[in-house]
Amino acid sequence: MNRRTFLSSSLMAAGAMSVQSAAAAGDLTGKWLSGKKSQFTMWQLPSFRNDIGNSYIFRTSTGKVIVMDGGQRCEELTLRGFIGALGGEVEAWFVSHPHGDHMGALCEILKNPLDLRIRHIYHSRITEPVIKAEPEVCEKDCREFYSLLDNCQLAQVTDIQEAGGEYDFDGMHLKILSVANDFTTNAYNNSSMIMRVWDRRKSILFLGDAGVECGRKALEGPYRQYLDSEYVQMAHHGQNGCDEHFYRSIKFRACLWSTPLWVWNNDQGKGFNTGILRTFDTRVWMDRLLIKEHHVSCVEGIFRLD
């Protein structure tokens, strides 16, 4: 939204930037090499049932498909279709944390993959005290997910327990900035893997459902510089995730909202902004930061970034 103003100003900024000033990890200052060839395309997928969820798909310049999260169980068929249209094979599937709205569709696929192929699944396993720190339904979903991974014959499974790992998919770089934590406050969300994806043209920070504590730990951690990115996926669908201090502490210019309408409008049945969610707090913070570009899944539908 309001992209015309951004495009004109960003093109001027990019023109003034020399190739020599770009770091190998992608420029961290907020200026981007728009003249460079993109190494990947990203899609932000909306929920086709107006349900909460988080789903991103990437395709590299040579056609490799990478998935992040995937959304609720009810999104399984839509997700299968989208991946199938890209060739039906997933090179790598990253799961931010074991909440059903992030790994539910993957669970259904693992139970019955049909003709979908997955080469590698990456996640960060939470500890037993953290598993038990949330309601029974969350614990049940989490244990099912881990059982499917432990018995997985479809893909190689990697449990990432240390931040800092970096993966290169044909020039699309993905770096792990945060792994599972031992916070029992907002336990599963605060164990979200924070990930940064970039090439020489663009950079995206994925916060999963990171809460205040997870965000602050990332700010204080050794990979702080990688939090600065062109695009930021808003933590916890844009409500009750990372705090204003976190967003003020990093550099970014555009927001990705993986958010259904009832969360975006904070309307759980009684009207606009009458609910208990804190989406409007985050929207106000973005206004204060003068962020003008927003891609909201329930408003825009599928958002494609080349």
Residue 27 pLDDT greater than 60, yes or no: no
For residue 13, the model assigns a pLDDT of: 34
Q: How confident is the model at residue 37 (pLDDT cuts 50, 70, 90)?
A: confident
Pairing of strands 120-123, 92-94: parallel
Fold of 37-300: Metallo-beta-lactamase; Chain A (3.60.15)
What residue type is 201 in one-letter code? Answer: R
pLDDT in tens, 107-153: 999 999 999 999 999 999 999 999 999 999 999 999 999 999 999 99
What residue type is 148 in one-letter code? Answer: L
Q: What integer is the mean pLDDT of 96-106?
A: 98
User: What span, in angstroms and rounded, lies between the C-alpha atoms of 287 and 265?
Assistant: 16
**139-146, long-range: CB within 8 Å, 24+ apart, which pairs?**
141/98, 141/99, 141/100, 141/104, 141/107, 142/98, 142/99, 142/188, 144/107, 145/98, 145/103, 145/106, 145/107, 146/98
Answer whether 0.85 is exceeded by the pTM: yes
